[in-house]
Structure 1
């Protein structure tokens, strides 16, 4: 029957798709229901950035579209019913223990003044103003005092322990009046607090510990720490098993970290933009038309004699490359021959001749075919820099056409810093589990943001090419620095391998930080040692 089930699924996908309201209505329904993007995204099984795209012009498809439509229909029905009850239903009088009665008039729950709780999250009964990114609920294993009534609460909202409904947040009027001592004779009776309006109670909420290892209120640094801590606990402290589990989930966790670091940012990440054909694979297993300028260079002739060669390993190459100019919006076509530094993208250029192959690698990498080619922003900026007055190593490249958008160098900066800080702490504490986890997060994040089955939340092949090219450009600039400081550059490979002859410690700092290098290998080479095989001698 499994074969027929698969066929039925295909037939269902061919049918008419569920109707969705306009984008602004989708966001309005979520905000009126006081639900954060993280809450809704988790229920649908997508990332908050994907949900943000659906609220800003993108359209889901298939089964996830049906589920999203079902959610929106349910929210619309519940909000309509709640509005009718609030408007029509009269507020009845509550009998007091003393035999008197007061009429409770509808009133919103009063929230603490800004001076009392400057960063308090949304209070039950109040509408949230903003995009609702910070009000996700964390279930507490040990109750904490509610910031509103002081009674034990089993949930934390936006970092503060709170009850989720007014009925739970404070005792009823009758209970409060019965518990309060009677005032002395002759003194006026204190006014009874007005009963808050009841809000719709969330159903199906688990009362046990939170299942997710990532908790929004803890911030980017806490996300990584909590994931490692909880995974180690799940595997009874087995470091190898925990590392394997963390590496396996590195891609969705990286996307979750990206969402956390993007909160409050000026620009929304467009996860699935329109992409020109040059950025699409030509065949299923083929490549697109973008040249990343990957270094693959070995010096042919060394100075006479024997030489001690040091193979240096560049730390965190892809992590450092996350700081690059990334396009924000849709890539726009241009045939202008000039470069606009406020924009970023891919460019069709005729590269300049490179006359320094004997001592330095070609900035374009190992390319055999002459003529124009599509390069990325980091490669173009490197060529323009080398052709400028400070270096004058080549002529400027000719730009024929481009696909670019307004850009910023800091789009992934908080994401990069969170990973870098976690990496630094792991190295300091000899925490190999966190170190491997962080390495998997940033390396897989870069490698799967193109056409990948492993990351369907972010489709940015332009970013993937730009980040890779930035890593290659960073290695090339280290080779140039070594050459300018009097070292002999022997080899430059990929993102992190640089072989030099000479006192490299006066040029590069040694260590494991991303700004430092470490020794990968040492060997001898020269006219009397034959061809180098890469093995230590």
Structure 2
């Protein structure tokens, strides 16, 4: 066969991609049939998260695209046939006033999710429209204190380029897979004359309802490697990122808000070059006391346990970041802010809350850094002037977005410490540390792209360390060093200030050493 024959054969076998319905229609088609993502994923041979990605902006390719298109075409045909049938029934029954009234009443579903969990009590009608926490457009209701649209069709997140949910690798995770997504409760079908109000979401399930994916994975790894602890630990650490994402999916199931995995990100959060950094300043401390009291002193280097794990409890933006200007700060929102930081006159005894920065002028900081500065400028502390806010990128926020994920990791860590289970301990540490470090522009985690979350969580860890340094100073200890997220060096009876242990609320001794005033001058 000549080259031209090969080209002709290639052209003859080429065919255009099968078209897919618009993104905003895909989820509606599935839900209309009361099918869960897990059910669709099973017949297509993919994971539930992959189906979630397709419903939020990603497109499949190859043979699986043809299968998905076939499913959606069938679902659309079923919906059209059912709508026509219901319309005919409505027309036929319209002659009875009582029955017509029933049809009109049934066209609007009650606010709530129909699951009987009490969420309806949390939906309130606003006296005046407020920006939706998910899209920013005016909304007339609020749920659990957050303004938002009850009907996703009214929400700006259903625009042509919606944020995408995290998508799993096509092969799935054979050893640690979340339980199939529970089927959604049946809802009233919309009639041609009106569209039913759809439920906002459901309350997150109790912690006991989350499957023990960590314990299952550890047991499976030990069995696979015949009890070899080192080999099993290495295998678990290697797969810590996808396993952390599986745990996140499991703990978020039933949550009120979707975890927006790939929203629009402003340029300040994008790397300026392949090996460069973005424009966000994380306020990482690298401080040591410039002058010690005269004499020799024994210094204890304290290790702060689970710094990133504790920092998962921080105010995270729920939806896409929106730009604003002006000096105001809304505590119901979170993001990044361009500020002129205040002067700091306590460098001789405490680190600067914005870390080691020599350049003057405005800089972009995260929500935890801004809140720390505002706190320290308040009447309780009075340590500095308030920062000057110039502009911000923020979204409606909550501290509880990753709370069940954090608690699942913390509980597994606590059990491992009690049981002396070093395999689980190393596995859990790798899960939360790699989860945080790879949710930015990383080749290792393609499922969650939230560089804003990465900066906020890391900055929260730095802010937590700063507050521990202040607590030590306030209790009469001499603070010698504060480094990164988990290292604090002090002089004095630190056990009267901090609890010693391996728990996330405790500290442990990393090192002890002696310094004197002469040695300090040499440093």
Q: Structure 1 length normalisation: TM-score?
A: 0.69
- In structure 2, the CA distance between the partners of 1:468 and 1:83, relative to structure 1 (3 Å rule), is closer
Alignment gaps of 5+ in structure 1: 1-10, 87-127, 131-209
2:177 pairs with 214, 224, 232, which one?
Answer: 214
| Partner-residue secondary structure (3-state), 1:216 | coil
Among 445, 455, 472, the residue aligned to 1:465:
455
Q: Shift in Å at residue 458 of structure 1?
A: 0.6
In structure 2, distance between residues paired with 1:47 and 1:293:
39
Which deviates further from its counterpart, 500-509 or 219-228?
219-228
300 and 77 in structure 1: CA distance in 2 versus 1, 3 angstrom threshold = closer
Distance of aligned partners of 1:487 and 1:80 in 2 relative to their CA distance in 1, 3 Å threshold: closer
Aligned to 1:447: 437
- 1:276-291 map, 5 Å: 276-291=266-281
Rg (Cα) greater in structure: 1
Is the Cα–Cα contact under 8 Å of residues 49 and 271 in structure 1 kept in the other structure? no
User: Distance between the aligned counterparts of 1:287 and 1:42, measured in 2?
Assistant: 40
- Which structure 2 residues correspond to residues 258-277 of structure 1 after superposition, within 5 A? 258-277=248-267
- Tell me how far apart the structure 2 counterparts of residues 45 and 462 of structure 1 sit (CA, whole Å): 33
| CA deviation vs aligned residue, 1:225-272 (integer Å, no higher than 9, x gap) | 101101111111111111111111111111110011111111111110
Does structure 2 retain, via aligned residues, the 8 Å contact 1:53–1:270?
no
- Superposition pairs of residues 105-144 of structure 1, within 5 angstroms: none
2:223 matches 1:233? yes
User: Using a 3 Å threshold, how does the CA distance of structure 1 residues 215 and 286 change in structure 2: closer, same or farther?
Assistant: closer
Give the equivalent residue in structure 2 for 1:429.
419
Distance in 2, matches of 1:495 and 1:66, equals: 45
Helix, strand or coil at the partner of 2:379: coil
Aligned residue-pair number: 397
The yes-or-no answer on 1:297 pairing with 2:287 is yes
State the match for 1:308 in structure 2.
298
Aligned: 1:331 with 2:325: no
Aligned position for 1:362: 352
Shift in CA distance, 39/468, structure 1 to aligned 2, threshold 3 Å:
farther
Q: Measured at CA, do residues 33 and 233 of structure 1 come closer, stay the same or move farther in structure 2, by a change above 3 Å? A: farther
| Cα 1:231/1:77, change in 2 over 3 Å | same
SS of equivalent residue, structure 2 residue 323: strand
Aligned partner of 2:65 among 60, 65, 69 = 69
Deviations 1:147-183 (A, max 9, x none): xxxxxxxxxxxxxxxxxxxxxxxxxxxxxxxxxxxxx
Matches of 2:240 and 2:499 in 1, distance apart? 30
Matched with 2:192 is: none
RMSD between aligned residues:
2.9
Q: 1:348-396 CA deviation, whole Å, 9 max, x = no partner? A: 0000000000000000001011100000000000000000000000000
Structure 2: give runs of 5+ residues left out of the alignment.
1-10, 83-112, 116-172, 181-207
- SS in structure 1 at match of 2:457: helix
- The farther-off stretch of 222-231 and 15-24 is 15-24
Specify whether residues 489 and 81 from structure 1 end up closer, same or farther in structure 2 by C-alpha distance, changes over 3 A only: closer
Partner of 1:476: 466
CA contact (8 A) 1:46 1:457 kept: no
Matched-pair contact (CA < 8 Å) for 1:47–1:457: no
Q: 1:531 to 1:424 in 2, by over 3 A?
A: farther
Q: 1:381 maps to which residue?
A: 371
Alignment CA distance shift 1:395-1:349 (3 Å): same
User: 1-side partners of 2:349 and 2:516: how far apart?
Assistant: 15
Cα deviation, residue 336, structure 1: 2.0
- Where in structure 2 are the equivalents of 1:98-247 lying within 5 Å? 211-216=174-179, 219-247=209-237
2-structure distance, mates of 1:505, 1:60: 53
Contact 1:33–1:75 (CA<8 Å) still a contact in 2? Answer: no
User: Partners of 1:77 and 1:532 in 2: how far apart?
Assistant: 76
Higher helix share: 2
Moved more, 233-242 or 32-41: 32-41
Query: 2:297 is paired with a residue of what secondary structure?
Result: strand
Q: How does 1:510-525 map to 2 (within 5 A)?
A: 510-525=500-515
